[in-house]
Structure 1
Amino acid sequence: MAHIIPHAPPDPGAVTALSARTLGGHAAPGRWMLDAVSTTSGRRLLGRDDELRSLFGHLDEVGTRGCAIGLLGEPGVGKSALQAEAVQHARSLGFTVLTARGSQSETHLPFASLHQVLRPLLHRADRLPAMQRDALLACFAMGESVEVNPFFTFLAVLELLVDLAARTPVLVCLDDLHWMDQPSIDALAFVARRITGERVVVLCTSRPAPLPFADAHTVEWTQLRGIDEASAAALLDARAPRLTPAMRDRVLAQARGNPLALVEFATALESGRYTWTELDDDLPMTTRLERAFAARAEHLDPAVRAILTVAAVDDGDDVGDVLAAAQILHGAPLDRAAAQPAFEHGLLTVVGERYHIAHPLVGSALRQAMPPATRQRAHEALARVLAAHPDRAVWHRASSVSGRDERIAAELEQAAGNAQRRGAIASAAAWLERAAALSPDPRSQAARLLSAAELGYQLGRFGQVEQIKAQVTGMTLRPRDRSRLAWLEGVFHDGSTGEPAEVRHLVDMARQATEGQDVELAMQLLVGAARRVWWRDPGAPLRHEIVLAARQVDVPGDDPRLLAIYALSESHEQGPLVIERLARWPADAGGRPDLAGLLGIAAFCTGDFRRAVAFLSTPVQELRAQGRMSLLAEALAIRAWAEIYLGTFDAARSADEAMRLADETGQSLWAATARIAVALIDGVGTGWDTRHDLLSEAQHVALRTPNAASSLLAGVQLARGIAELGANRHEQAYSELRRVFQPADPAFQRMQQVWALGYLADAAVHTGRHAEARSTLAAMERIAGTSPATGSIIALEYSRAVLADAASAEELFRTAMDGASSGLPWHRARAELAYGSWLRRQRRAVESRESLRAARAAFEAVGARTWAQRADQELRATGERGWRPTSSPRERLSPQETQIAELAAQGLSNREIGQRLFLSHRTVSTHLYRIFPKLGIVSRNQLADALQSRDGA
């Protein structure tokens, strides 16, 4: 149950008596305290001084930084008790406290736990931007919107919390996080990653494995062990002073420092309703504790047991619902008084009309003890009572039957659709799996499982998809579902599973779909097959098979899917045709961002990088507006590499954000792709002497998914090669770059090798490998063909010039400077640097200076500091001195700060910037507060000039 705990400080003279139950009206069986042992809140948990000191320290420091912290431990070890102490300390500091507690029976109910947290704040939702407000209310089925994006919901949660934190610091307590529904966990993880600059502390408790948050860095976890022997003895003696010495020793030994076990074993033994058998030595701690709790309920009368039975399977917290359902189960009228023994025995807790099972082990014990028929009747009673809540009712109906039932399965499938429209993708997948389990028709069962797997793919859950695939394999499938299953194969590597047999299987499935006039499925399968051959080349015959299969599908010749298939499969062979047909499309693909994304991929894979950036900018804008972070990360990662190949080295444009979003959405391959881009940009700008951490991380991802290795590793080698060139380490540069051109090397990639050619030629000239590099150049000319795209032309023109003999070099350098690279400062500057260096080596030092000065100025302008220094070294060799590198104030900003500054310079408000970048408006304000002094300005209207300034300040 959610509530705001008032932040009035406690009575400083109060002394808290020993209690295992009471906390401000809440029953808390795991809480243990001793009289007159004081801490800041007038009480102390035995054996937890270090943990309390750490928790209180985080709360005390909330003015300087927010944080997300968590306590991991077995049931009863004291996680909730420590959290309760943190609540009391937070209240003494003036915090507003928001709470939620997970329940095993609520894990399927989307946004249930989030609603607990936000219930006291929902009246403030009208102050949110419209898209955020609508998304938040829709996820709770409280608004008119029927379909929402979850990331706008998440952003709304963040905004509500940081607005509240502007008035008073906030503590968000999430107890039993492992039992919370996945959409709530996702929303709270989003918030936890963005509170560093806010007066917000998130405190979680959870069982140790698996971690609730997929990203281990979201929360700073502390593993709780049992309390020390002296503290355990003191607690037991205070709670059960009449135990015999033998029984006391037994309890201490069996509890192993678990505070709840110490209290509950002693309570059960003293009551006489629990007998300890030798078999208990072999039972796990959880089972023994469940037995102790079950002993409390065994002697209660039938009316109370009916209430407890319903409460144990209920997915809500309304006392009235429980009493109404228990009355059906009991067969006689029941009121609040009938439930009183359950509260007195510490099995249920209640505040107002909201109740909770006192401890998860109580609910587990009650469910374990009830016969299956009783459990089914309880679910049936709740389904009747919850008729006004169709989704909850159908879940209970599904739990009330023992066999398969198509009607209920269909209702569950419909409820899954409702959950999906509300942005609760994880819950929708769970509902579909339940619907599959109830499906009498094996084909319908398989179809529903595949739908669940497709949702799992959207969420990036490899394990779930693999588990469902294993379950579906061998089942009776409809033809279309066989194709869906084939598409799911390897989908987590974005098509990186390039085994020829698997690719051919996709092509065969696509041909079957074509014969069945299922154009959409055929194209989906062929795009998947083509993606695979980009990541890892399965050979020319199979690549051509994909192209032939695509030509058989009844789609227009300029269909973006078709162009993407051509470009991914046969980049060189189909390049001229693809480029000609791309020219027919406007940059925004006629207002269709989904099509623009495919056109951007087609342009990128053929080396038409200008069009790639233009096409990809449309879906970037649209996906950002829609809050679709997963697809946005992919589009940004591809655009970042198109920018790099054009010679734009600015991580703030695409690469840095792509990396952060891909990390957050669990897309390891796109995160690795972006990491390589960020490292390469860093190498061009400032250089690095040792292997970059980001490259090592990306390489680890590549080697962990070997079928994806070629494209990723080619990028790693290019980044390392360029960094070595910038540092004038040519031998190392050649060694790094050469790998991209060797077919037997894992880093070989047939298209990327052409784009890397110019850098290899640079390294070859400085290491005396002219003949070897000229042989490679000839091979690349054959591969590129007679009508290559801009990316290939730039590389070929440059390489021909630097590898030419003395007689033809000058003319080829002119072509390299004035040809495809003429409008691209980075590429023209490289040609001018190479030309000036060549002139100097020809003893034409005076002539060389003009080109070398132009190269140095251009490198400095694009932020390529290491390369500007290379050009200056060449100039110094001609006798010219006196250059001092200038700096731009924007170089003092991080990529994210640069993004924020540029958007603010365009006139966007803090809220508008926050919504674009998935940050709170207060975080944006904090960033701007730090940006202004870095730029030497005091107001927003000075931003535009400051960002363009290169005054050396």
Structure 2
Amino acid sequence: MSTTYGRRLVGRDDELRSLFGHLNAVDSGGRAIGLFGEPGVGKSALQAEVVEHARSAGFTVLTARGSQSETRLPFAGLHQLLRPLLPRVDRLPAVQRDALLACFAMTDSIEVQPFFTSLAVLELLVDSAGQTPVLVCLDDVHWMDQPSIDVLAFVSRRIAGERVIVLCTSRPESLPFADPHTIEWVELEGIDEAASAALLDARAPQLVSTVRDRVLREARGNPLALLEFASALESGRYAWTEFDEDLPMTTRLERTFAARAEHLVPAARAVVTIAAVDDGDDLNDVLTAAGILFGSPVDLVMAQPAFEYGLLTVLGERYRMAHPLVGSALRQGMPPATRLQAHAALARVLADQPDRATWHRASSVSGRDEGIAAELERAAGNAKRRGAVASAAAWLERAAALSPDPRSQAARLLSTAELSYELGRFRQVEQIKAQVTGMVLRPRDQSRLAGLQGIFHDGSTGEPAEVRHLVGLAQHAIGAQDVDLAMQLLVGAARRAWWRDPGERVRHEIVRAAQQVSLPVRDPRLLAIYALAQSDEQRPVVIEQLALWPADAGGRPDLAGLLGIAAFCTGDFRHAVAFLSTPVQELRAQGRMSLLAEALAIRAWAEVYLGVFDAARSADEAVRLADETGQSQWAATARIAVALIDAVRGGRDTREDLLAEAEHVALRTPNAASSLLAGVQLARGIADLGTNQHERAYGELRRVFMPADPAFQRMQQVWTLSYLADAAVRANHRAEARSVLTSIEQIAGACPSTGAVIALEYSRAVLADRASAESLFQAALGGAAGELPWHRARIELAHGSWLRRQRRIVESRGPLRAARATFDSVGARAWAQRADQELRATGERGWRPTSSPRELLSPQESQIAELAAQGLSNREIGQRLFLSHRTVSSHLYRVFPKLGIASRNQLAAALADHGDQSSPRPA
């Protein structure tokens, strides 16, 4: 219903001025804007004005409207939006084209890869925007199917540099795109009193003053209410006076719409009844089903009154409700028996569309029915294979409601919860867990329920009783020969032990339970459990077995991921980077961004511990992806890595903000995540060391070694040791640090990992007495750190400083110069300055730090530049990084002048001029 009178939209001058301004500025970049407000407030009318303005300005306008009946039809909204652009789909890369067409069942493939679908939509819109700017209008997006919403959210987050405007409308109680980075929501309130009076007087000038005043008061500036009540009162079909009791606004509006249908002849009433519960837009389907409900065939002529009364609109063979409240009013007033009959009629008509038919058949029964529940479960499986996880969850929830057997109902609810976890629906998972907790469960489902506890915190709730419960369930699964479930539960228990140590006895129980499973000692799940549980006894076994596996785990990315976790948690960081690079490639190729974010975050920390300080390798992308997928724990993990890298390179401005945000995530978990807090303290300590605040650095780092402190983490203290020793020497805490060193030597054992060896060799040297220091420095230089530039430079700095303090001035200059050169080459400015200060104390002057244009690049620009230097096209880079090819082009446009080059062919040489000398990038 329009809120206009004549050709002017009443009372919306400010809103139109703002929205037209965004359209006029589209050449400066795109944006996503959402209008929300109560039904009838004029969202759609305002959007229609913007559409008219955009078309007159030469925009390509794409529209889609959500429908309550289409909410569970995967990709219905997306297909509606993209119809005008589908002829261009052959221009897309094959993997994107196939993924998009599979969504719409326009190809033989039934496998949908959601993020390649999203990238395909982004490319179509950006390509179109290359010719004319694009306006994407999404009306009633709160009723749009979730798979379509997920794709549109992906697109909205990536149009800042494109000539694309997204404008959507939604009701306030169910806003999609909750992430503030996705869309800018603007609340649309009612029009003011003067505009309301003008609109009402123009529409119903003959109203009695008392009734007019009551309408104005009750409408509260809602344009649809003003127009509909005026129409109803003038017609005489809706009796209402100033003495009637107040009713909720939405009820009033729905009654107004329902009143229109009361005067339809039976055949037309059957048509609108079917349309109200339909989940499609095919007019022939509705007419056929209406004939079943009516008792004899119904044609378009017989349905005409439904269109004349303004309940339905039609375009060709497609129809829709004239307004969403029409369907709401009809469904609300429909007798239950009639609704069941309408769904049954649609189920018969849609026999050639099994999934839709199953849904309507499920809606046509009033009691429980195992046969239909099983059909829904199979349909959910089909939806999941097509990438429509949200639709699969809805179907499973309905299947649970129809299950006669309480145990089957619980199993299906748990499946719903597992899919809801993948979708990031915390509230729904918690509701299902609460519901299932009081139900009769099969033993396997009891274990599945336990596995869902704390799942959104990635096992960060490490209460001993909770971990023991998981171990007990795993032992039951072992007795039942359910190896996969047992290992799944034990990995979950071990993850909890990593994030927050439940104590030595509980960690041993996890390991003993894993040893009861009949698996070969090289099984990656077993190795991951040993490492996550921080088993001192099994650490040599893990290190030995990791060395026997090829870097790609024999072509199994899932196993490589587990091996990468085992390597990282053991401190075998070289193997961790190698193993994690395999699943990173595979997950990127599959577009599985949630798991990709986790793998990148872990790999980023493996690189940090090796001394590779380049956020573009893993950390920056991990932050962006984890934020996008709603994984706060992994986003925090990656943020700490970015902050630490900034600290090493001297960028203190953003460091504390990142650390404070990560610290907040750690502390708000049910058990403070000690692994995150330990990382925060390490980053702060390294930053303070770089600026010679040694006492403060020692205080920050010391927390990681104190069992009573929330930042204590058993294995991370091993890898933090060398920095604590560095601070201790300068802050005069040498004796205390030596005591810490002794305890860490006991944890590392007789077969320490690479990470432990680096930390121990450095710490022994810097904390040594005068008699043994020289030999220990030489041992450290020839040890595990010798091939790692960052760690070798730290040893050289410490050795040179020690030589200077021993008044061996000439000898000290060699290692100090080497340290300064290495720190300078990797961009560690503060550390290079530390080495130069030591050299100046020996009487040497004249050094100037080098600078490189590459340091002007952001991590994402650096990542794009490196891929371009390798010969990848813009489309290939965009596909790898989930960006449009035009966004990649824009980044390169900014990169060239920063590097002082004019063409793509010069990239490789420009990047090599000041490349990272830390370690080779994994393949």
Shorter-chain TM-score: which interval? over 0.9
Tell me how far 1:558 sits from its aligned partner.
0.5
2:665 corresponds to 1:694: no
Matches within 5 A, 1:269-284: 269-276=233-240, 281-284=245-248
Structure 1 range deviating more: 58-67 or 926-935 = 926-935
2:646 corresponds to 1:682: yes
Matching residue within 116, 128, 152 for 1:152: 116
2:199 corresponds to 1:239: no
Q: Secondary structure at the match of 2:181?
A: coil
Matches within 5 A, 1:379-458: 379-458=343-422
Tell me how far 1:571 sits from its aligned partner.
4.4
**1:112 corresponding residue in structure 2:** 76
Partner Cα distance (1:341, 1:869) in 2: 84
* Amino acid across the alignment from 2:871: G
Matching residue within 733, 749, 752 for 1:769: 733
The answer as to whether partners of 1:571 and 1:606 remain within 8 angstroms in 2 is no
Change (3 A) 1:794 1:286: same
**1:24 corresponding residue in structure 2:** none
The answer as to whether partners of 1:572 and 1:784 remain within 8 angstroms in 2 is yes
Partner Cα distance (2:480, 2:530) in 1: 22
Matching residue within 312, 335, 338 for 2:276: 312
Partner Cα distance (1:158, 1:281) in 2: 51
Q: Secondary structure at the match of 1:100?
A: strand
What percentage of residue pairs aligned between the two structures are identical? 80
**2:869 corresponding residue in structure 1:** 905
Matches within 5 A, 1:492-571: 492-571=456-535
Partner Cα distance (1:855, 1:59) in 2: 55
The answer as to whether partners of 2:128 and 2:134 remain within 8 angstroms in 1 is yes
Partner Cα distance (1:571, 1:723) in 2: 31
Matching residue within 141, 151, 159 for 1:195: 159
Tell me how far 1:951 sits from its aligned partner.
11
Tell me how far 1:844 sits from its aligned partner.
2.1
Matching residue within 850, 854, 858 for 1:890: 854
2:256 corresponds to 1:292: yes
Change (3 A) 1:222 1:233: same
Change (3 A) 1:951 1:722: closer
Partner Cα distance (1:209, 1:746) in 2: 38
Partner Cα distance (1:90, 1:690) in 2: 40
Structure 1 range deviating more: 622-631 or 332-341 = 332-341
Matching residue within 788, 791, 814 for 1:850: 814
Tell me how far 1:562 sits from its aligned partner.
0.2
* Amino acid across the alignment from 1:660: R
TM-score norm. by structure 1 comes to: 0.94
* Amino acid across the alignment from 1:694: L
* Aligned length in residues: 916
The answer as to whether partners of 2:210 and 2:242 remain within 8 angstroms in 1 is no
Matching residue within 473, 487, 497 for 2:451: 487
Partner Cα distance (1:243, 1:796) in 2: 89
**2:32 corresponding residue in structure 1:** 68
Matching residue within 732, 753, 756 for 2:720: 756
2:57 corresponds to 1:93: yes
Q: Secondary structure at the match of 2:276?
A: helix
Structure 1 range deviating more: 269-278 or 301-310 = 269-278
Structure 1 range deviating more: 67-76 or 461-470 = 461-470
Tell me how far 1:131 sits from its aligned partner.
1.3
**1:718 corresponding residue in structure 2:** 682
Superimposed CA distance per residue, residues 318-374 of structure 1 (whole angstroms, 9 cap, x where no aligned partner): 111111111211123322223332223222222222221122111111111110111
Matching residue within 793, 797, 806 for 2:761: 797
Tell me how far 1:464 sits from its aligned partner.
1.6
**1:628 corresponding residue in structure 2:** 592
Change (3 A) 1:187 1:951: closer
* Amino acid across the alignment from 2:248: P
Partner Cα distance (2:86, 2:868) in 1: 30
The answer as to whether partners of 1:493 and 1:708 remain within 8 angstroms in 2 is no
TM-score norm. by structure 2 comes to: 0.98
Partner Cα distance (1:283, 1:846) in 2: 92
Q: Secondary structure at the match of 1:226?
A: coil
Tell me how far 1:534 sits from its aligned partner.
0.2
Partner Cα distance (1:80, 1:474) in 2: 44
Matches within 5 A, 1:239-388: 239-276=203-240, 281-388=245-352
Tell me how far 1:416 sits from its aligned partner.
0.6
The answer as to whether partners of 1:572 and 1:606 remain within 8 angstroms in 2 is no
* Amino acid across the alignment from 2:45: A
The answer as to whether partners of 1:572 and 1:788 remain within 8 angstroms in 2 is no
Q: Secondary structure at the match of 2:19?
A: helix
2:801 corresponds to 1:830: no
The alignment yields a C-alpha RMSD, in angstroms, of 1.5
Q: Secondary structure at the match of 1:204?
A: strand
**2:556 corresponding residue in structure 1:** 592
Superimposed CA distance per residue, residues 192-237 of structure 1 (whole angstroms, 9 cap, x where no aligned partner): 0111111111101011134201312200111111111101110111
* Amino acid across the alignment from 1:641: W
Partner Cα distance (2:596, 2:393) in 1: 23
**1:16 corresponding residue in structure 2:** none
Structure 1 range deviating more: 319-328 or 629-638 = 319-328
Matches within 5 A, 1:716-755: 716-755=680-719
* Amino acid across the alignment from 2:784: A
Partner Cα distance (1:204, 1:881) in 2: 63
**1:59 corresponding residue in structure 2:** 23
Tell me how far 1:711 sits from its aligned partner.
0.6
**1:648 corresponding residue in structure 2:** 612
Partner Cα distance (1:55, 1:571) in 2: 60
Partner Cα distance (1:582, 1:876) in 2: 46
Matching residue within 624, 633, 646 for 1:669: 633
Superimposed CA distance per residue, residues 45-68 of structure 1 (whole angstroms, 9 cap, x where no aligned partner): 221111111111111111110111
Superimposed CA distance per residue, residues 77-101 of structure 1 (whole angstroms, 9 cap, x where no aligned partner): 1111111011001001111111111
* Amino acid across the alignment from 1:289: L
Partner Cα distance (2:654, 2:214) in 1: 58
2:623 corresponds to 1:659: yes
Superimposed CA distance per residue, residues 411-462 of structure 1 (whole angstroms, 9 cap, x where no aligned partner): 1111111111110001101101101111111121111111111111222222
Q: Secondary structure at the match of 1:174?
A: strand
Matching residue within 858, 875, 880 for 1:916: 880
* Amino acid across the alignment from 1:200: V
Tell me how far 1:759 sits from its aligned partner.
0.9
The answer as to whether partners of 1:826 and 1:859 remain within 8 angstroms in 2 is yes
The answer as to whether partners of 1:571 and 1:605 remain within 8 angstroms in 2 is no
Partner Cα distance (2:572, 2:670) in 1: 28
**1:579 corresponding residue in structure 2:** 543
* Amino acid across the alignment from 1:620: V
Partner Cα distance (1:741, 1:179) in 2: 52
* Amino acid across the alignment from 1:754: V
The answer as to whether partners of 2:491 and 2:528 remain within 8 angstroms in 1 is yes
* Amino acid across the alignment from 2:223: P
Tell me how far 1:570 sits from its aligned partner.
2.3
The answer as to whether partners of 2:70 and 2:145 remain within 8 angstroms in 1 is yes
* Amino acid across the alignment from 2:777: F
Unaligned runs of 5+ in 1: 1-28, 36-42
Tell me how far 1:733 sits from its aligned partner.
1.0
Partner Cα distance (1:478, 1:502) in 2: 20
Partner Cα distance (1:237, 1:735) in 2: 73
Tell me how far 1:300 sits from its aligned partner.
2.0
* Amino acid across the alignment from 2:3: W
**1:81 corresponding residue in structure 2:** 45
Partner Cα distance (1:181, 1:920) in 2: 24
* Amino acid across the alignment from 2:4: M
Tell me how far 1:644 sits from its aligned partner.
0.1
2:3 corresponds to 1:32: yes
